[in-house]
Amino acid sequence: MHSEESASLCKAIGLTSKLLGIYINDNLQIRGIKLTHNQFVVLKILSVKDGICQNELAFITERDKTSLTRLISTLESKGMVKRTPAKDDKRKKIIHITDTGINTLNEAWPLMKKLEEELSQDVNSEDLKVLLSVLSKIQANILSLEPVIE
């Protein structure tokens, strides 16, 4: 791939990601759901794997520790998660989803499914399969490549 095409690809993926986050956040806010897209992602992960340490959650969500700590603190102040010290190491924090978090996630879930349908409304299933295949290949390339050092 030519460098111009690579730059366009990176720009298109970045812009799409940014627009998607804004679109989801706006729709959550309009419907009175007290979550951001990032908070939804954390609650979704905890709904599947509750009681994981904060460091593991940072790794899964690909967030640095500082921004994840801030995000967890916000969710904790809303009563959606709770932090407890790990039994083996009191410095480690284990994150648990609360009933409030589960209820909020359940409230947001139908909206997220609806938004996903809206986003792909004019995309036929074959194009969607191709897009997902190409994105999967790009993700595999990213994971297999070493940083460029010049």
pLDDT digits (tens, 9 = 90+) for 1-56: 556 676 788 899 999 999 999 999 999 999 999 999 999 999 999 999 999 998 88
Domain that holds residue 51: 3-144
Q: Name every residue whose Cβ is closer than 8 Å to that of residue 5 and which is 6 or more positions away in sequence.
A: none
**Among 102, 121, 108, which residue's Cα sits nearest to residue 50?**
102
CATH number of the domain within which 40 lies: 1.10.10.10
- Rounded to whole angstroms, the Cα distance separating 98 from 81 reads 5
Q: Is residue 133 part of a domain?
A: yes
* pTM of this structure: 0.81
Q: Is residue 149 part of a domain?
A: no
